[in-house]
């Protein structure tokens, strides 16, 4: 098929769609295509820019930067509106002309939503603007305008109101950029340039359309392209700044991890008659869980586990405070209640509304006695070989850090070779599955009974693997809460060295 025939067929289809007489010359077809070329080119460019912005947001969604996604929809919808208004697209995608006009009107209404979000995050950033009211008003208008078109069976019934709303937003944006703005940086300058060019060309297009001044056709899309380029500069600038802040935060978190690693014991105590295993799994880079030991001598040991409310850096900072406060309790190491009372007095009034749950276990291997006290902490689990049962020990007082005069009590028990103790934080019990069910005390007890023959280290690894399986979480993925597990097995001294 020759070029002349192709253009003639295309012309026939275009003119048929538009309800006009088929042109007699190919030149008329070329003239029509040239008339569509600008809108087609700008529409494709803006749609591609919008799609790329949305794609970039999907790859960077954790940064939660709303300017990128709102910019993407704003640019993309404007480009689609340009394309939907060209006879060439009507020809390529066979559909009634009324459908294209409904689509154009709908996009014209909806584009106000991402535009409003973007203006609030850029033009009106830092200004006292009732954001929820503004967004609510725009969403309400879009809903009413769309329903009006559908009910009346006519596209664009609310176009006059739409234009008035756009003018109001545009004027307030100009005031925000040129009068209310106290500080002017490169982002504000770029926005000013974009708004001025777009405003001039939009005004020119309207004056030409009303035959009030001569000139070329509708240059508003070109002005919008300039505005989009300026908006893109603002978005890129924000992404760059956010990336710099993210790198700075990552460096600070790296230092925080190093500091937190330094406050945790580097080695486990070596006490004849005891087999000790610890597993520490933070939710974030740093955590609020903490454990430590007070070694009195080669036969006596204090074991401490604590959980600071909250997560991340604030909780980790408080955990550092707990480290110092716990070290000062060494003179009272054999008295769990006294240790917790001393910690509570030191920490009360220092935690800015947060609190700490804790448990402290003192072991005297020579006398085969353990004593235990806790502060709002989950129960200690004690497996007794003699009766082959798991006992939940709840010797609990109030949490640390809230009431300086709080008192705590100590429970004392005999221990025998073959017994096992579990101290842990609530992340163990509160691991959830797909149905939001907690793993819970009953499953931990059952696991202890079934896996009682495993050595402390293998038992700890197996329990964490079981929790991952329960939560449908890969072992490499961080848990929903900080997890600390400390297992103490009681053995004969000879069996440990055999």
pLDDT at 445: 93
Three-state DSSP at 450 gives: helix
pLDDT at 461: 93
d(CA 344, CA 341): 5
pLDDT at 206: 62
404 φ, ψ (degrees, to nearest 5): -65, -25
Architecture of domain 268-496: 4-Layer Sandwich (3.60)
Per-residue DSSP letter, 90: H
pLDDT at 423: 95
d(CA 179, CA 172): 10
- Tally the residues of the chain: 498
What would the DSSP string read from start to end of 233-294? HHHHHHHHHHHHHHHHHHHHHHHHHHHHHHHS-SS----TTEEEEEEEE-SSSS-SEEEEEE
pLDDT at 301: 95
What would the DSSP string read from start to end of 176-217? HHHTS-S---HHHHHHHHHHHHHHHHHHHHHHHHTTSS---S
Structure tokens belonging to residue 316 = 């980790």
In angstroms, the Cα distances linking 342 to 295, 335, 351, 359, 405 are 18, 11, 15, 13, 10
pLDDT at 13: 46
Cα 132 to chain centroid, rounded = 21
Q: How many CB atoms lie within 10 A of CB 420?
A: 23
414 φ, ψ (degrees, to nearest 5): -80, 145
pLDDT at 485: 94
Q: Can you name the CATH fold of 3-250?
A: Rhopdopsin 7-helix transmembrane proteins (1.20.1070)
Domain extents for the chain?
A: 3-250, 268-496
d(CA 217, CA 215): 7
490 φ, ψ (degrees, to nearest 5): -100, 125
Show pLDDT as tens, one digit a residue, over the chain (498 residues). Answer: 443 444 444 444 444 444 444 444 556 556 656 667 777 888 888 888 888 888 888 876 655 667 888 888 988 998 898 888 887 787 777 778 788 889 989 998 998 899 888 888 877 777 777 888 888 889 999 999 999 999 998 998 998 888 888 888 888 887 887 877 667 778 878 878 887 887 787 777 766 666 777 766 677 778 888 888 888 888 788 778 777 777 777 776 677 677 666 778 888 999 999 999 999 988 776 677 889 999 999 999 999 999 988 777 777 778 888 888 999 999 999 999 999 999 999 998 888 778 999 999 999 999 999 999 999 999 999 999 988 999 999 888 899 988 888 999 999 999 999 999 999 999 899 888 888 889 999 999 999 999 988 999 999 999 999 988 888 777 666 677 788 999 999 987 544 443
């Amino acid at each position: 098929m020759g070029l002349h025939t192709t253009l003639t067929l295309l012309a026939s289809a275009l003119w048929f769609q538009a309800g006009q007489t088929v042109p007699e010359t190919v030149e008329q077809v070329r003239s029509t295509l040239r008339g569509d070329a600008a809108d087609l080119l700008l529409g494709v460019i803006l749609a591609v820019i919008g799609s790329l912005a949305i794609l970039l947001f999907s790859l960077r969604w954790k940064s939660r930067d709303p300017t990128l996604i709102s910019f993407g929809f704003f640019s993309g919808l404007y480009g689609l509106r340009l394309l939907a208004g060209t006879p060439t697209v009507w020809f390529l995608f066979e559909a009634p002309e009324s459908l294209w006009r409904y689509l154009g009107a709908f996009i014209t209404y909806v584009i106000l939503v991402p535009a409003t979000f973007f203006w609030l995050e850029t033009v009106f950033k830092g200004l006292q603007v009732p954001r929820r009211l503004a967004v609510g008003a725009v969403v309400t208008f879009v809903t009413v305008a769309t329903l009006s078109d559908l009910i009346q069976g006519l596209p664009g019934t609310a176009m006059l109101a739409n234009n008035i709303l756009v003018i109001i937003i545009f004027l307030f944006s100009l005031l925000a950029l040129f009068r209310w703005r106290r500080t002017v940086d490169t982002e504000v300058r770029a926005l000013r340039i974009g708004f001025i060019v777009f405003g001039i060309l939009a005004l020119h297009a309207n004056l030409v359309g009303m035959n009030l001044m001569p000139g070329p056709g509708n240059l508003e899309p070109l002005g919008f392209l300039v505005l989009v380029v300026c908006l893109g500069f603002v978005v890129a600038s924000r992404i760059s700044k956010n990336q710099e802040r993210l790198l700075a935060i990552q460096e600070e978190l790296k230092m925080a991890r190093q500091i937190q690693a330094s406050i945790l014991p580097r080695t486990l105590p070596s006490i004849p008659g005891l087999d000790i295993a610890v597993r520490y799994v933070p939710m974030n880079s740093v955590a609020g869980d903490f454990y430590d030991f007070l070694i009195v001598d080669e036969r006596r040991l204090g074991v401490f586990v604590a959980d600071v409310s909250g997560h991340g850096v604030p909780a980790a900072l408080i955990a550092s405070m707990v480290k110092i406060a716990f070290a000062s309790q060494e003179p009272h190491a054999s008295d769990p209640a006294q240790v917790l009372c001393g910690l509570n007095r030191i920490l009360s009034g220092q935690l800015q509304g947060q609190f700490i749950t804790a448990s402290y276990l003192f072991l005297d291997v020579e006398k085969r006695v353990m004593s235990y006290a806790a502060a709002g902490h989950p129960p200690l689990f004690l497996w007794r070989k003699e009766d082959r049962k798991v006992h939940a020990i709840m010797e609990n007082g109030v949490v640390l850090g809230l009431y300086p005069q709080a008192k705590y009590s100590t429970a004392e028990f005999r221990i025998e070779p073959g017994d096992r103790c579990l101290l842990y934080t609530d992340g163990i019990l509160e691991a959830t599955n797909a149905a939001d069910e907690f793993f819970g005390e009953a499953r931990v007890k059952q696991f202890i009974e079934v896996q009682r023959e495993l050595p402390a280290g293998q038992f700890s690894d197996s329990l964490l693997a079981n929790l991952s399986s329960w939560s449908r979480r890969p072992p490499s993925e961080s848990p929903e809460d900080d997890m600390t597990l400390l297992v103490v097995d009681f053995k004969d001294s000879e069996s440990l060295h055999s």
